[in-house]
Amino acid sequence: MTKKALLYFTLLFATVAMHAQGPVRDRIKTLKVAFITERLDLTSEEAQLFWPIYNEHEEKLESIRRKERTELHAHLSQAENLLENEAQNLLDNIQMLQMEQQKAESDFISKMTKVISAKKMLLLIKSEEDFKRQMLQQYRKRRGGQR
């Protein structure tokens, strides 16, 4: 990791305790964009087509995660009190959201491979995983190694 990227990560986590979740989420997104841009080495033509597709995909995934949080997790915490038909409906909703996420991922890959090469698509997937891993490492360092 470059010194500049390390500085950005450090600054991000130094501000976590001082800001509301919105500004922190925006900073994380900014860092993620910079991280992906550096890793993929997109041409200007690729970038013009890449980012709208990528952002649309991120919004779809966030919408699915929001549904999971609001609709499902509240019910899962009370699973032992659900009637059988309520439990079945909850399982059906979980399965529907998983299928929606799989379809979104498949559509994303189909759209993106028309814009960037298969190799860059694989680099994107790896870059997203690397970014998550680095964010977790920084978080753990800030927490003093606690989990």
For the chain, give every domain's residue range: 1-42+120-147, 56-115
Burial class (CB in 10 A: 0-12, 13-18, 19+), 9: buried
Assess whether pLDDT exceeds 80 at residue 38: yes
Q: Treating both helix axes as pointing N-terminal to C-terminal, what angle do 118-142 and 3-15 enclose, rounded to 10 degrees?
A: 50
Whether the model pTM is above 0.85: no
| Per-residue model confidence as pLDDT tens digits over 53-107 | 999 999 999 999 999 888 777 787 788 888 999 989 988 998 999 999 999 999 9
